[in-house]
Amino acid sequence: MSVKIKLHRMDRVYRPPDVIDGVIIIDTPSSVSHQGVRLTAVGTIVFQLSARQVGVFEALYKSVKPIELMHKVVDIQAPGKFPRGKTEIPFAISLDTPKEGKLFESFHGAYVNIQYLLTAELIRGYLQKQMLEIVEFMVEERKEQMPRRLLESTPVNFYITQDTQKHVIAPALRSGGFKITGRVVTQCPLSEYVMGELTVEHSAIPISSIDLQLLRVESIVAGDRMATEASEIQRTQVVDGDVCRGLVVPIYMVLPRLLTCPTLAAGYC
């Protein structure tokens, strides 16, 4: 016997006040009695320790409890009996913004997880094993609720030469030099891609490839202590081979939604 949740929205992305709808599928080899089917929607902010900061924030970690953003319980099916085979039970639950506070966007980070879960539970007798299915769904902010400055962001110019590098580079490249210029939009909605362009103006040696590295910088402050963790969450290749000098190469980088978080601050204690 199994319990499954099937959401009608394939990408599982919702924006308040959307309605989360779908079906709960009960598959049983024979008829089975039950005490009801319950659906629970929970949203929480969970603080966790990074492996690099073990020994620094244990006291804070033990004192901070998960912050509940939403908690809804809906009885989908009254007690009864399911026949042999598959039974589909439709459900719908509204994603309402709480009266006090807000629903922060989904995020899986090094220190903080903002997670929303749907749990379908087939309630059985006292001595029988309960059947559960848990599915994560993602919450995003509506575009019209975003600050207008994000929607009208101005591209930032950049340049890369041998003099801007902090690591050791090849002697031929150091003596002959290289120069890459371009521009990139540094503020954008998480549902859109990062746009820009780059141009290889000069390089003393052939180029094999050019990659864009996306780093996530996450900080946490506790008293007079602050820990910052930078981790690579995506690498995108934009050039393969020795690109023509002076050629404008477009940049389109799709952000990994669950691993990318908007800049925000929450006044929770």
Average pLDDT, the chain: 84
pLDDT band at 23 (very low <50, low <70, confident <90, very high): very high
Percent pLDDT > 70 in the chain is 86
pLDDT at 146 over 80: no
Average pLDDT score over residue span 161-189 = 85
How many other CB atoms are found less than 10 A from the CB of residue 74?
Answer: 13
* pLDDT, tens digit, 9 for 90 and up, residues 52-99: 655 555 555 665 678 889 999 999 999 888 899 999 999 999 998 877
Domains and CATH numbers, the chain: 2-144 (2.60.40.640), 148-259 (2.60.40.640)
**Whole-structure pTM value:** 0.77
End-to-end CA distance of the chain: 44
Return the pLDDT at 145: 62
Of the ranges 12-26, 179-193, 225-239, the best mean pLDDT one: 12-26
- Greatest Cα-to-Cα distance within the chain, rounded to the nearest angstrom: 81
pLDDT at 150 over 60: no
